[in-house]
């Protein structure tokens, strides 16, 4: 193919526990094409390349037509969730070797339920911690000089022990990183094979425990992320042969941006919520275009379900996230994950109670109905037995063994003394309440009234329990976008390049040094500007967003608020304080505006640099014509929605044949290539102009 006849195809790929989702965007025609392929847990890169090959075949393009690939990966996430952290070493300030052991007095679920709670295992054992003399104070002044001889001895000890992954976190290095930089140079000289993360580059923010843990997590995932990205790079190069051209490869970050893979290997912790972040962004754009400003997202996959909040088209952010047992104090979309995916296993506790998850059968061996060696019933098996999903997946590409699923559920039901249908519905009910609790965590616990929100469901299994979630939470309704199984991959095509920079600067409102704050914000902006230039963005494309972490004096934690651009002066500081009072009232129900005894205190200054990309546009679909029953109802099958009512004859609707303005009521099953939407009795469905299914309870507001 000649250069002049080449197409411009941008690809988004999201690797999940069961399927790898792929979306291709033709930048010339604006056409979006989606597909899915099974994930390959033993080497996720295989599923990645399989997905590219499959989508190129679908759109009739070649590797030479690819202009960029954006990827949401679970490599870092799975590494932490599985707790498989290899030999890891930690270097810290002399006298602080037990910082990780002390940690935080944070008891899950409250003290009343946690009499026997034990702190989680350390990410690095105490015998792999070494200290180095030297000390900075909180303003960055050197109190004791750096002990170079001690640093050399520590570096040599790690080399002798064969520990090649190291994290360095010295006291108050957020204010002055001279000692950390000196330590890194010694490690490069004495232990050149070591992979090193230093806290002043990972998280330049106070609170020693959180900064140490975040740096250790960064170091722990760095080898895996580096190997994975290098593998992908090499295999992408094969698409362009011996030419000098490289296919730009971007990786989704937890903060809602992407970064070139070459840069991501230097800051891998930024990818710990890579996949869930892409889904939240895709759902945010879809809901905004559909006209819903307040949305909860529910991304159901094979292993887990991720939920988040979207306000006016933007997912909410947090720096108080955790991955598995490990706190990671980096900017990330506020996602809560629960082990309730299609592959989550139903089991009986020692007390004889039915439980679901968090253990998952994953993609391999998968649920019983996959007939790939799975031995325990899962959520997917329960849906199959009840008739809520068809006896196949991906439009018939993957046949399901319905009888194997029924045998597994029957055996579990017999142990519980239930009939098959009640057991299967019980499995789904537990899963629905697990998801509902996660949704409450990101909404009610953040001071939001969940009744004002629509729920956007996506992912392969995200819409299967949508109607039950409306019942449990009294939601306003549900929005199911077209191709919901590929929303995360679509989200990857909507994402700007984004970098975050932070500097701690604790100061009371009444004694702010405006010049000092201006200097810090300017320095952070310069860093963001340099990073965007390195990513290939022209100066006139650069955008910068400022935020400040603020609290009342005496509070332990802060509230992040947006800060205006422009010069920092008295009016600027007053605007930040006004915003903080309002945010505090929204979160906690009160504020101290106008109370002279309660001072506002600034803690952290943040700048985010954004390099915008061209987003795909969502186009209206054709209006419905003719009778829906003649056009879109392709079959009927027996489906059980409630055990007491048994199986009811239910129409099966082909979503591809629906048009804008179509309306129908449950019971109904809506099927498409990547997912199924059971519409329970008592719910109405309307197809909007963009092909979204808007589901509400009959007679609802």
Angle at 570 between CA 568 and CA 574, to 5 degrees: 100
Query: What is the residue-averaged pLDDT of the chain?
Result: 89
> What pLDDT score does 257 carry?
85
What contacts 287, CB < 8 A, 6 or more positions away? 295, 310, 313, 454, 456, 479
> What pLDDT score does 701 carry?
55
> What pLDDT score does 316 carry?
87
> What pLDDT score does 675 carry?
87
Cα distance from N-terminal residue to C-terminal residue, the chain = 56
- pLDDT for residue 153 is more than 90: yes
- pLDDT for residue 160 is more than 80: yes
Q: Percentage of the chain with pLDDT > 70? A: 95
What does the longest C-alpha to C-alpha distance in the chain come to?
Answer: 84
SS3 assignment, position 131: strand
Which residue segments constitute the domains of the chain, with CATH numbers given?
A: 3-79+225-268 (3.30.420.40), 83-224 (3.40.1360), 274-339+436-492 (3.30.420.40), 344-430 (no CATH), 497-611 (3.30.1490), 628-697 (no CATH)
- pLDDT for residue 116 is more than 80: no
Q: Which among 140, 142, 168 is positioned nearest to 154, based on CA atoms?
A: 168
Identify whether the C-beta of residue 392 lies closer than 8 Å to the C-beta of residue 400.
yes
Gap between the Cα atoms of 340 and 358, Å rounded: 6
pLDDT bin (cut points 50, 70, 90) of residue 239 is: confident
SS3 assignment, position 498: strand
Each as own residue / partner, the long-range contacts of residues 259-265 (CB below 8 Å, 24 or more positions apart, any chain) are 259/497, 259/498, 259/499, 259/535, 260/497, 260/535, 261/71, 261/229, 261/232, 261/233, 263/531, 263/534, 263/535, 264/225, 264/229, 265/222, 265/225, 265/226, 265/229, 265/230
Angle at 529 between CA 286 and CA 308, to 5 degrees: 30
pLDDT in tens, 74-88: 778 777 766 667 789
> What pLDDT score does 1 carry?
35
- pLDDT for residue 429 is more than 70: yes
According to DSSP, the residues that pair with 156 across neighbouring strands are none
* Mean pLDDT to the nearest integer, 433-444: 92
> What pLDDT score does 309 carry?
93
pLDDT in tens, 545-578: 999 999 999 998 899 999 998 899 999 999 999 9
pLDDT in tens, 194-203: 999 999 999 9
Angle at 302 between CA 60 and CA 119, to 5 degrees: 135
What contacts 149, CB < 8 A, 6 or more positions away? none
- Per-residue b or e along 647-657, where b marks 16 or more CB atoms closer than 10 Å to that residue's CB: eeebbbbebee
Cα-based distances in Å from 102 to 120, 121, 122, 128, 321: 11, 12, 10, 16, 19
- pLDDT for residue 13 is more than 80: yes
Gap between the Cα atoms of 70 and 573, Å rounded: 39
Peptide bond between residue 567 and the one before it cis (omega within 30 degrees of 0)? no
* Mean pLDDT to the nearest integer, 40-68: 90
- pLDDT for residue 97 is more than 60: yes
Task: Identify the H or E element spanning 473.
Answer: helix 466-473
> What pLDDT score does 321 carry?
75
- Count the neighbouring beta carbons within 10 Å of the beta carbon of residue 59: 16
Residue 84 CB burial class (10 angstroms; 0-12, 13-18, ≥19):
exposed
- pLDDT for residue 437 is more than 60: yes
Identify whether the C-beta of residue 688 lies closer than 8 Å to the C-beta of residue 290.
yes
Gap between the Cα atoms of 650 and 681, Å rounded: 10
Residue 114: half-sphere exposure toward Cβ, Cα within 13 Å: 10
> What pLDDT score does 569 carry?
94
Q: Which among 388, 394, 417, 391 is positioned nearest to 403, based on CA atoms?
A: 391
């Amino acid at each position: 193919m000649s250069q002049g006849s080449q197409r411009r195809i941008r690809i988004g790929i999201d690797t999940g526990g069961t399927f790898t989702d792929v979306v291709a965007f033709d930048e010339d025609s604006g056409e979006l094409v989606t597909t899915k392929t099974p994930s390959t847990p033993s080497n996720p890169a295989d599923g990645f390349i399989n997905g590219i090959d499959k989508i190129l075949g679908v759109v009739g393009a070649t590797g030479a037509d690819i202009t960029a690939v954006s990827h949401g990966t679970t490599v870092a996430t799975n590494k932490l969730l599985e707790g498989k952290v290899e030999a890891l070493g930690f270097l810290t300030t002399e006298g602080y070797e037990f910082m990780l052991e002390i940690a935080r007095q944070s008891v899950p679920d409250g003290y009343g339920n946690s009499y026997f709670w034990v702190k989680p295992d350390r990410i690095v054992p105490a015998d792999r911690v070494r200290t180095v003399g030297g000390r900075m104070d909180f303003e960055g002044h050197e109190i004791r000089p750096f002990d170079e001889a001690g640093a050399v001895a520590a570096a040599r000890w790690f080399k002798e022990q064969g520990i090649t992954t190291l994290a360095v976190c010295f006291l108050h290095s957020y204010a002055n990183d001279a000692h950390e930089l000196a330590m890194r140079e010694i490690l490069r000289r004495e232990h050149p094979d070591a992979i090193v993360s230093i806290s002043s580059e990972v998280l330049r923010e106070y609170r020693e425990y959180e900064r140490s843990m975040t740096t250790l997590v960064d170091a722990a995932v760095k080898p895996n992320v580096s190997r994975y990205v290098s593998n992908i790079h090499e295999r992408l190069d094969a698409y362009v042969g011996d030419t000098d051209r490289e296919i730009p490869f971007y990786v989704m970050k937890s903060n809602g941006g992407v970064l070139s893979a070459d840069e991501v290997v230097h800051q891998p912790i930024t990818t710990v919520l890579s996949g869930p972040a892409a889904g939240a962004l895709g759902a945010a754009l879809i809901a905004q275009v559909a006209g819903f400003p307040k949305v909860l997202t529910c991304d159901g996959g094979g292993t887990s379900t991720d939920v988040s909040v979207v306000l006016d088209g933007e997912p909410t952010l947090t720096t108080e996230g955790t991955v598995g047992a490990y706190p990671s104090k980096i900017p990330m979309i506020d996602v809560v994950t629960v082990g309730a995916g299609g592959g989550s296993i139903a089991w009986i506790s020692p007390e004889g109670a039915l439980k679901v998850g968090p253990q998952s059968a994953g993609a391999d061996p998968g649920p019983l109905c996959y007939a790939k060696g799975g031995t325990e019933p899962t959520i997917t098996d329960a849906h199959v037995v009840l008739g809520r999903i068809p006896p196949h997946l991906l439009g018939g590409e993957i046949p399901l063994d319905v009888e194997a699923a029924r045998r597994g559920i029957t055996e579990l039901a017999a142990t519980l003394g239930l009939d098959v249908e009640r057991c299967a519905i019980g499995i789904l009910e537990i899963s629905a309440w697990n998801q509902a609790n996660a949704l409450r965590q990101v909404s009610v616990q953040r001071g939001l009234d969940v009744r004002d929100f629509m729920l956007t469901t996506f992912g392969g299994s995200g819409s299967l329990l949508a109607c039950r979630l409306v019942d449990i939470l009294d939601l306003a309704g549900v929005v199911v976008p077209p191709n919901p199984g590929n929303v995360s991959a679509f989200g990857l095509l909507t994402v700007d390049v984004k970098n975050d920079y932070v500097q701690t600067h604790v100061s009371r409102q009444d004694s702010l040094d405006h010049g000092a704050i201006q200097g810090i914000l300017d320095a952070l902006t310069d860093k963001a500007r340099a990073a965007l230039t390195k990513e290939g963005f022209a100066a006139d494309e650069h955008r910068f967003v400022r935020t400040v972490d603020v609290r009342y004096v005496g509070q332990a934690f802060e509230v992040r608020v947006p800060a205006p651009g422009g010069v920092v002066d008295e009016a600027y500081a007053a605007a930040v304080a006004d915003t903080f009072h309002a945010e505090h009232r929204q979160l906690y129900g009160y504020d101290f505006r106008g109370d002279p005894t309660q001072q506002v205190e600034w803690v952290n200054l943040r700048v985010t640099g954004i390099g915008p990309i061209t987003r795909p546009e969502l186009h209206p679909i054709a209006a419905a014509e003719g009778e829906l029953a003649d056009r879109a109802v392709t079959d009927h099958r027996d489906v059980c929605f409630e055990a007491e009512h048994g199986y009811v004859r239910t129409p099966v609707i082909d979503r591809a044949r629906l048009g804008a303005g179509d309306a129908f009521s449950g019971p109904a099953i809506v099927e498409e290539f990547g997912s199924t939407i059971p519409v329970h009795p008592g719910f109405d469905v309307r197809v909007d102009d963009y092909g979204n299914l808007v589901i509400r309870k009959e007679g609802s507001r």
